[in-house]
Amino acid sequence: MHRILRPSRREFLKCAAAAGLAVAGRACAQEALPPREALATVAPEAVGVDPALLQKAVDFVAEAVAAKTVPGAALVATRGGRVFLEKYWGVCSGVDRDGVPYDGNTQNFVYSFSKAVTATVVVMAHQDGLVDYDAPVMKYIPEFTGGGKEAVTVRHVLTHSAGLTAASVAPVLSGDEWKAAMAALCAMDTEWEPGSRTGYHGVSGMLIAADIVRRVSGNRPWNDLCRERLFDPLNADLSFAPPRADAPLAVVPPPASRPWTVDTAHMPFLGHPSGGAVARPSGMLRLLNLHLAGGVWNGKQLLQPEALAEMHRVQYQDKIDAALRDGKTPSHEYWGLGWLLRGATTEGWFGFGNIASPRTFGHAGIDTVIGVADPERDTALVFITTASPGESANTMRLRNTVTNRVMAAVTA
């Protein structure tokens, strides 16, 4: 069975820490998330969910928190855009107020779930005729040449197939920092022929894609573009700006020393299109439900049907099928444009489980965040822990069990 390769949390955090040591501490422009506007809440039975089976998911997470596998957790799920499950357990960790109860107002760094946010904005630029998926990146970024990069297309950077996996996390909040991070990417050589395989691009792909959107949009700040195109229309509590100093915040991993400031000296990935968004579960669910609802939100078509379909199409399905027919392990994974799709995988790192349909899509954020949506069940869930579960086996067990138990209740 084709297994999804696990993005390296350790490698991401090691890069982040190394980058942080090289950055002089400075204050960052902060932004308050909008007040949490709850989606409509209903009893599970009202949307065809079995409450007894759903309780098994609730009990499983409660037991994990009670056993101190994680100090706190959130599990929120919708069907048809209506919340049928919203539970919070335990406390925040990694903040100078350890022990603060974790609840729906707590903000979370969502790490690589940010990639799905960025990709959605890129797709919006594409449907406006500003970005061509199959154009070489150098069409938009002329300095993106040499080392095999001339063959890299926009589609490659959206599907983890560009061959630029070795990039390190670097701050991007200021204009000069963004330019320096892009200059470092433009100096890299490709590690394989673009498109010939996939391999998780923890840092590079979505920064390149976001830079393209900025260049075709007057070089406006990334968070401003995202707010205008996506966050405000969704009224979503999502942001690429650093949270305010007084915001309730769950930080993973914990800082080495406290008190400390939320700035790029301590957290170099702040605002990074590949991993620097801040959100509450409700904001993540709004994004997932936009995709489940055919790109329509509050009566407005934010994503056109054709653009949405392409985003959710497995881009290398033909290559995967050919490898499986030949009894080989595929060199490509089930990537759409930004989202990973379940396809034929089971019990993987992204927590799709083995009950959700093959069309299920989602994204993980290191080992603390998943957002998953199954179009066939019109069901979305967000599962967040306020600290790492430790061993990768614990992470996968928690994620896949939660998803399986929620989906089992929905399909009953």
Packing angle, helices 204-215 and 175-186, rounded to 10: 120
Q: Tell me the pLDDT tens digit for each residue of 99-148.
A: 778 899 888 999 999 999 999 999 999 999 999 999 999 999 999 999 99
Mean pLDDT along residues 184-196: 98
Q: Kind of pairing, strands 249-250 and 107-109?
A: parallel
Nearest to 71 by CA among 253, 247, 246: 253
- Residue scoring higher pLDDT (271 or 33): 271
Q: pLDDT value at position 94?
A: 55
CA dist 373 and 363 (Å) reads: 10
∠ Cα 169 385 61 (to 5°)? 155
**Whether the predicted pLDDT of 9 surpasses 50:** no
DSSP secondary structure letter of residue 300: E
* pLDDT > 90: percent of the chain: 76
Query: Using an 8 Å Cβ cutoff, are 171 and 205 in contact?
Result: no
* Positive or negative: CA dihedral 72, 244, 268, 98: negative
Residue 86 pairs with which residues in a beta bridge? 76
Q: pLDDT value at position 16?
A: 42
In the block, which residue shows the tokens 């979503």? 236
- Tell me if the bond preceding 281 is cis, omega within 30° of 0: no
Residue 341 pairs with which residues in a beta bridge? 361
Q: pLDDT value at position 30?
A: 57
Q: Give the predicted TM-score (pTM) of the model.
A: 0.91
Helix (H, G, I), strand (E, B) or coil at 374: strand
Which domains are assigned to the chain?
42-411 (3.40.710.10)
**Whether the predicted pLDDT of 36 surpasses 80:** no
H/E segment holding residue 362? strand 361-365
Q: pLDDT value at position 382?
A: 99
Nearest to 12 by CA among 253, 192, 334, 250: 253
